Structure 1
Amino acid sequence: MHDIIIIGAGVAGCACARELSRYTADILVLDKEEDVCCGTSKANSAIVHAGYDAAHGSLMARLNVEGSRRMPALAKELDFAYEQCGSLVVCLSDDDRPALQKLYENGLANGVEGLRIVERAELAAMEPNISDNAVAALWAPTGGIVCPFGLTYALAENAAKNGVQFQFDTKVTGVHPMAGGWAVETENGTLETRCLVNAAGVYADNFHNMADAAHPMKITARRGDYFLLDHTAGRHVRHTVFQLPGKYGKGVLVTPTVHGNLLVGPTAIDIDDKEATATTAAGLAEVREKSGLAVKDIPLRQTITSFAGLRAHEARHDFFIGEIAPGFIDCAAIESPGLSSAPAIGAMVADIVRDSLQLKENPHFDPTRKGILDPKTLSFDERAALIKQNPAYGQIICRCESVTEGEILDAIHRTPGARSLDGVKRRTRAGMGRCQAGFCSPRVMEILARELGVDQSEITKSGGASKIIVGTTKDSL
């Protein structure tokens, strides 16, 4: 019997795993996909929200502000990309100033530091491409941007370093109480645990309702469509620019990314299918229409890809974290600002589990993790020395993002490591450039097959049935 099983290897589940690895316990993370970061965590705005938006007094507000405060130190500790670039909420009409003031006051009540309202002249100096209709904005210097993949992988790798086990391609089909804990039924057999953490994203309501049918939960998948623009558009804005909901509607955000791209979106469309992550023409048209309200001259012709992600929306619009039955801990309805809140979410869940199981501190816990080495960050002499020591760092595989074979090898051999094209892409950015893997996919497939000891026909884009090779030309003759 395991001490703790966590359902879900997204950013919340991995944050819980990392914080729980501070204690001596047998911990297992289960996910139905082939890797960590395959659900909501892989497709979002990559924003570290300052914390002024969530309703004062809510759990969401408290954990957002705490998570945002923890992020700079965590980024150094776990070596992932993070930038505190600050955010602006733009007011486009004098009629909407009372709403801007209300947002400012809510942020102060939540404990957000450094908030102030900037007027048109200062706003235009901060953002030269701000809309001509912008009259003022709420400035939050503690707002930031992060790599959602990098954060999630960093948490998972540090958890694994401290003894947490991960089991992928394992869909949980049911949970029920048993003597001394919980039985977790999966497509690969039944597992037993003293404590179960439900961090299953859009599916967390299923497991909540199995554990506490008397207090049902319903999570709605809320789809968000985005455009991702090339590096050449990356400095069109310097900060994350939100639109204040007003007479023009809610609007969409425009933000730089930590990798130098420009991200525009999202929509907010409630859907019934919890796997429907395809973009729609209507959704992208909405982003295209609304994006120019707060920021002018967005070069959308430099779009290199579009994508959609799902948020785990619950009608009460708050996080649900707590022990809802003996040994069953909810970490549910983690929608935006879930990414920002993840460090605090993990700490809160770990405290609950620690007290429930009376866990002892892990004397060997190591809080640090070193990310994948990027040779582009080295000086010429350092890079030359690295290539001399390991020639794989001199072999460019992805030309758009200048990703080397050495980085890809590192990504594959980590724990948990990449086993698919998307696993490599999210860890190294091989395939994330303007050609969107058009040139580098065959070489990445060759490396994956060689290092994993499988035939290239077994390599997938993202696990499951997403195989790239379905046959050979000679076989068809």
Structure 2
Amino acid sequence: MDTSGGDASPYDVIVVGAGVVGSLIARALSRYALRVLLVDKASDVGEGTTKANTAIVHAGYDAVPGSLKARLNVAGNAMMERVCAELEVDFDRCGTYVVALSDDDLPTLDALYRRGVANGVPDMAIVSAEALRAAEPGVHPSATGALWARTGGIVDPFGLCIAAAEHAVMNGVTVALETAVTGFLWEGGRPGVGRITGVTTTRGTIGARWVVLAAGLWTDDLMRAAGLDGFTITPRKGEYFVLDKEAAASVRTVLFPCPTPVSKGILVTRTIHGNVMLGPNAVDVEAKDDLRTTAVGLDEVLSGALGLVPTLNPRHVIRTFAGLRAAGSTGDFLIDAPREAPGLVVLAGIESPGLTAAPAIAEYVVDLLREAGLPLIPRADYVPHRAAPPRVAQLSHADHAALIAQDPRYGHIVCRCEMVTEGEIMAAMHRPIPARTYDALKRRTRLGAGRCQGGFDLPLVLGIMARELGVSPLELTKRGGASRLVVRGTKEVPT
């Protein structure tokens, strides 16, 4: 595999893992005169925890004071508005409530408030049941008060990851997908001898002066490959419901119950796109690819959500899914350049509030590399802004008409639920990181994310994808690999 960009010299930095954290790290490094490679084993960026989480921007009152989680949560929250503006990503600082469902919960609110103050969280208040109901009329009648955090919010996690990776590419970063890192190159030719000088992958070896390990659930496996023991990651499954936009009146902000030792609890939130989401539960599992939903788990989620907002109607459910969090053995983020593996920066246990903290984590890693001696010379040609592609559903009639005049494909509605046009699909397939699978298109355009969940648009999309990629529909996949969308022609007899 030749990922050297036509140059035999190694990369300055390889970032392993193209989730929201890795993509923002690559973007932060793209400000400097460096050769950077962002590598991931999946067929698209953001295919791990980033694609299956609650999409909350946490205020920062939950993390233990003095922890790295607390520091980077609050810092990342403060950065989120600017980062999303630079990348043209949807973000809403709508505020969050932690709801006391009985008087027994009130001491927990006090403890969270004090913790938030210690962490430097601004604009918090403990509000009465009456004030809570005025803001959130659907909240359970037993609610006795709430902790209000004005700086909490919601974001588009896939959009943030994709935009960060695209912005990195705009500024010279190379992206290698479907490339799994399996180990490391060492200066002395064997593990533990000298510096790490690159990585081994399923597509060959790649040299680098520094390797930044942001591989999510698989980081501890790669740490052991580098001779670093003592830190383990447990996959913690969370199951979710997505409700139709008709349910949007059920909640105006984000409603949490009082947290547990392993979870912030089963919440009810509106999403940045106008749906309502319920979940997650928290179940430790063995397999790092176990994304199955279960009847028991979904019953737990629905019961918990109805305990917060009893007016929720299960008939509004349009989707269930599960995600995995990388629960670290120390309970805190691990971000370090270990002396035992020179040339390596490790990020491990980046569970909640990892999405919120991601912009601050990126700057933290840049600072680590600077302190370790990596020359960081600002690029004179750095492009500071990434323009998002047009979203027809968000345009006025006049703006939509003007867009159609430029390209008639923006007048061809392919997905009726989300008003996605052929023009938007085409744009997504020709961006700096082009969509090549159905799910990649879905994350970029909202295609298939509505009430029919792709029932109407899928045949049309198959035709567009096959035409643009120059392949048979039989070769198209949902998410890469063996996830074929079409098994055979309708008149073909299986043999």
Which of 348, 358, 371 is residue 342 of structure 1 equivalent to? 358
Gaps of 5+ in 1: none
Q: Does 1:216 align with 2:225?
A: no
Query: For 1:29-81, what per-residue CA distance to the aligned partner results, in whole angstroms no more than 9, with x for missing partners?
Result: 11111000100000000000000000000000010001111111111110011
Equivalent position of 1:3 in the other structure: 12
- Distance in 2, matches of 1:251 and 1:347, equals 29
The aligned counterpart of 1:236 is 250
Aligned ranges 1:50-449 → 2 under 5 Å: 50-178=59-187, 181-213=196-228, 215-245=229-259, 251-324=265-338, 325-356=341-372, 357-449=374-466
Amino acid at match of 1:78: L
Q: Please report how far the alpha carbon of residue 441 of structure 1 lies from its aligned counterpart in structure 2 after TM superposition.
A: 1.0
Matched AA of 1:236? S
Q: Confirm whether residue 27 of structure 1 aligns to residue 41 of structure 2.
A: no
Paired amino acid for 1:295: V
In the alignment, structure 2 segments of 5+ residues that lack a partner are 1-9, 189-194
Contact in 1 for aligned 2:240/2:278 (Cα 8 Å): yes
The one-letter amino acid of 1:64's match is N
Cα distance, 1:475–1:124 mapped onto 2, change above 3 Å: closer
Equivalent position amino acid for 1:243 in 2: P
- Take 2:463 and 2:168, find their aligned partners in 1: how far apart are those partners? 29
For residues 324-359 of structure 1, what are the alpha-carbon distances to aligned partners after superposition, in whole Å with 9 as ceiling and x for unaligned? 131100121110100011110111112222333222
Contact 2:212-2:346 within 8 A present in 1 as well:
yes
* Distance in structure 1 (CA, Å) of the matches to 2:471 and 2:371: 44
Per the alignment, in what secondary structure is the counterpart of residue 196 of structure 1? strand
Instruction: Please give the secondary structure, in 1, of the residue aligned with 2:109.
Output: helix
The C-alpha deviation readout for 1:183-238, integer Å capped at 9, x for no partner, is 3111111111110000000001011222243x421100000000000000022111
Q: Alpha-carbon deviation of 1:455?
A: 2.0
Specify the code of the residue in structure 2 equivalent to 1:15. L
Shift of 1:176: 4.1
1:292 is paired with a residue whose SS is: helix
- Could you tell me which amino acid in structure 2 is paired with residue 331 of structure 1? L
Contact 2:268–2:277 (8 Å) recurs in 1: yes
CA distance in 2, matches of 1:286, 1:164: 43
Deviates more, 1:390-399 or 1:316-325: 316-325
The one-letter amino acid paired with 2:296 is A
Judged with a 3 Å threshold, the aligned counterparts in structure 2 of structure 1 residues 94 and 448 are, in CA distance, closer, same or farther, namely same
Q: Is the 8 A contact 2:238 2:281 kept in 1?
A: yes
Q: Distance in 1 between matches of 2:427 and 2:267?
A: 34
Deviation at 1:417?
Answer: 1.3
- Equivalent in 449, 468, 475 of residue 451 of structure 1: 468
Residue 363 of structure 1 aligns with an amino acid whose one-letter code is A
Residue 307 of structure 2 aligns to a residue in which SS? Answer: coil
Structure 1 residue 430 displacement after superposition: 0.5
2:128 corresponds to which letter in structure 1?
E
Q: The residue matched to 2:484 in structure 1 has which SS?
A: coil
| 368-377 vs 177-186, greater mean Cα deviation | 177-186
Checking the alignment, whether the CA contact within 8 Å between 1:235 and 1:256 is kept in structure 2 is: no
Say yes or no: does 1:49 pair with 2:58.
yes
The answer on whether the counterparts of 2:237 and 2:325 sit within 8 Å (CA) in structure 1 is yes
Deviation by residue 1:90-147 (Cα, 9 ceiling, x = unmatched):
0112122222101000001111110010011111101101111110100000000001
Q: Secondary structure in 2 aligned to 1:125?
A: helix
Q: Which amino acid aligns with 2:37?
A: L
What is the Cα deviation at residue 382 of structure 1? 1.9
Between the two proteins, the alignment pairs up a number of residues equal to 475
How far, CA to CA, are the matches of 1:304 and 1:60 in structure 2? 34
Shift of 1:473: 3.4
Tell me: CA distance 1:233–1:167, structure 2 relative to 1, closer, same or farther (3 Å).
same
| Identical columns (%) | 48
- Which residue identity lines up with residue 399 of structure 1 in the other structure? R
Q: What is the root-mean-square deviation of aligned Cα atoms in Å?
A: 1.5
DSSP-derived class of the 1:235 partner: helix
Checking the alignment, whether the CA contact within 8 Å between 1:251 and 1:291 is kept in structure 2 is no
State the one-letter code of the partner of 1:308. Answer: A
Instruction: Choose 151-160 or 296-305, whichever is displaced more.
Output: 296-305
Partner deviation per Cα, 1:288-317 (whole Å, 9 max, x = no partner): 111122222111210000000000001221
- Aligned to 1:312, what secondary structure does the other structure show? strand
Deviation for aligned residue 1:87 = 0.1
Letter in 2 for 1:300: P
Partner letter of residue 259 of structure 1? H
CA distance in 1, matches of 2:369, 2:461: 41
Asked if 1 retains the 8 angstrom alpha-carbon contact of 2:113 and 2:125, the reply is yes
Q: Which secondary structure state, in structure 2, belongs to the residue aligned with residue 443 of structure 1?
A: helix
* Corresponding residue for residue 468 of structure 1: 485
Contact 1:181 1:192 in 2 (8 A): no
